Amino acid sequence: MDILSSSTSPLFVLLQLVLLITSDILSAEGKTANGKIPAIYVIGDSIVDSGNNNDLITLVKCNFPPYGKDFKGHKPTGRFCNGKIGTDYIASGLGVKELLPAYLDPNVQIQDLITGVSFASGGSGFDDFTPQFLRAIPLGQQVEFLKECFGKVERAAGRERADYIKSNGFFFVVAGSNDLVNNYFALPTRRAQMPLDQYLHTLVQKASNIVQKLYKIGGRRIYVLGLPPLGCVPIQRTLRGGAARKCVEEVNQASIAFNAKLSTQLHSLALTLPNATVIYVEIFDILLDMIQNPSRYGFEESRYGCCGTGGLETAVLCNSVTSSTCRDASKYVFWDSFHPTERASSILASQLLHKYFP
């Protein structure tokens, strides 16, 4: 008789005991239903801000209609979108939770902190001058908030649980867009100080510093997103694309150059950080294809945003008093003149999940 076929055999009983103990250990470690990812934490700008700017004195905020018109309850939450944003879809796609809340949301509970929050602030960037003039939360301060968050987690759940979350949670860094379009190409200060290539090198070094700070806190699974085709966002087409509203090649080339430098730097950095996974996440080609071939993804419009004229309105300029909105945002790649719609965010997140988190 096979020794494993009997429920009374010593080996069978021993195996059952091992499985039971293992199950208890995994449960105690706080693993989610997918057995792998306990939490997601995000550092960045408006693309991944889920409401941290709501109470700031800044023009870069959106906690008012028509933002959130397709969100649950038609509620403007501070997400720069008509509904969910990409990190919401990443969090749900990885089996962590349905929405990734803002750290500064007064309704955030300790369980939210344990499973992940966003520290991102609309208008922020790697260059400290960018959030300074846009009155956003600098990335350095966002990292300090992250430290504060883990202090709360440790006090509530214990140091072992906090350390486990740090080691196995996912940390995302999403920034750089404002540094280029709202700083270098829009203001004279940085252009007068250094040529573009030097500025891009500076941004990449600052991005590297942020990753090292996350590692020092305890983060071991760090993902840094590259830049999208910034020259193709509606507001750039309006301001610099001419009568034909073409994509601004100079800005797109700057995005490509930044991405190349960032990818190389992160690869080198990863070799110096023991037990860490540092990944460059490519989004340029995915979004460019979505913009150039909208019908392939079921969209009808990619040159204009849904809000207002679709050419200039974003943040406070996209409002229910002075701006109308398109009837169906799901037909648009862009919600306002800078940020993608909920559906575009969903498609992007789906492709990233397939490529980087199979």
Interatomic CA distance for residues 48 and 42, integer angstroms = 7
Give catalytic residue positions.
Answer: 46, 336, 339
SS3 state at 175: coil
Give the ranges where the chain is alpha helix by DSSP (H).
10-28, 86-93, 110-115, 129-134, 139-157, 159-168, 177-179, 188-193, 196-217, 234-240, 249-270, 284-292, 342-356
Maximum C-alpha span of the chain: 84
Listed as own residue / partner, the contacts of 291-296 with beta carbons closer than 8 Å and 24 or more positions apart are 291/229, 291/232, 291/247, 291/333, 294/333
Query: CA separation (Å) from 33 to 55, 92, 97, 234?
Result: 34, 11, 10, 40
Query: How crowded is the C-beta side of 252, counted as CA atoms within 13 Å?
Result: 17
Cis peptide before 358 (omega within 30 of 0): no
